[in-house]
Amino acid sequence: MNERIAAARRARTAGEAGEEAETPAKPSRPELSGPMQNYIDLHRHAAVRTALLDHPGVALRLMVAHAIVGSGLWTVRVEPQRAANEAIAASIAASKAQVTFAGTQREILALLGTLDEDGSVAGGSGDDFALASVFARLLALSDEDVGRILALVMAETLSAGSAIVEALGNQLGLDMRGWWQPDDAFFDLLRDRQVANEMLADIGGRHVADGNSSEKVKTQKKIIRDFLSGENGREPVDGWLPRWMAFPVSSYTGRGGFRTADQWAKVQMLFVSE
């Protein structure tokens, strides 16, 4: 009786109330020793990776799967796009580039069969089953679709403020006018009088800039905005792009301290022929 009571208690603990619990089986001896398992693993790995060399299409899909999910050897992080303040965060969130990118992310997540069709594609946990699942999905997709996924994952993991952003923007011939317009956050962050005066020269001409060189930054910024909107008797200027935003980037002063220009200077000779 006492044994039956004890067995019933064990069954309830395991979620099987009413059934007699079985006595746990003694762990059996593994089929392979540790060294033998290591031997098998290394030989299979050597053969599989060598065979992979003859299948670049499969390798491409496997690499994309690793970039998405990660593994014990792969750690790929999504660019966090950390903003210094709420105004910058709001500006980025509302930008045409960010909105367009988010739409493409949702399309790619749907293509991968992800139920949660929001957020980033890359940045997985490195789980083996998740990695194999994404790999299997990629094997079923066309080269064109895999290429779209690859481009998106690379874009998600592109480091902001890096030299490679400058190299890529110049290589692609990117015109920022199609993706950015000067907004309140930009003008709020513009606080240097010399720089503001040089921007005023860009947009209104040197005679206008010289005539207002002694004015406060606030006044010069107001004139710049008048040119952009065509208000207060200013001839409207379309498509103005600050040197800071252009590809290739350049400075307004010789004072230095502009990291973006420094990053481009490091790699410029690799992408621009004399």
pLDDT digits (tens, 9 = 90+) for 133-154: 999 999 999 999 999 999 999 9
> C-alpha dihedral over 7, 10, 15, 17, to 10 degrees?
30
- Token code pair at residue 144: 């064109």
Q: What is the pLDDT of residues 70-107, one digit of tens each?
A: 999 999 999 999 999 999 999 999 999 999 999 999 99
Average pLDDT over every residue of 169-183? 96
Q: What is the pLDDT of residues 111-140, one digit of tens each?
A: 998 756 678 999 999 999 999 999 999 999
What letter does residue 71 receive in the DSSP assignment? -
Q: What does the alpha-carbon distance between residue 153 and residue 174 come to, in Å, rounded to a whole number? A: 20
Element at 20 (helix H, strand E): none
Q: What does the alpha-carbon distance between residue 126 and residue 119 come to, in Å, rounded to a whole number? A: 18
* pLDDT number for residue 114: 79
Average pLDDT over every residue of 53-78? 97
* pLDDT number for residue 13: 53
Q: Percentage of the chain with pLDDT > 70?
A: 90
* pLDDT number for residue 257: 93
Angle between helices 128-139 and 56-69 (to 10 degrees): 140
Neighbouring CB atoms inside 10 A of 249's CB total 20
- Amino acid 245 reads M
Which stretch of 5-14, 64-73, 82-91, 230-239 has the lowest confidence by average pLDDT?
5-14
Average pLDDT over every residue of 32-46? 95
Neighbouring CB atoms inside 10 A of 166's CB total 23
Query: How buried is residue 89: exposed, middle or buried, by Cβ count under 10 Å (0-12/13-18/19+)?
Result: middle
C-beta separation of 190 from 183 below 8 A? no
Measured in degrees and rounded to the nearest 5, phi and psi for residue 78 equal -80, 140
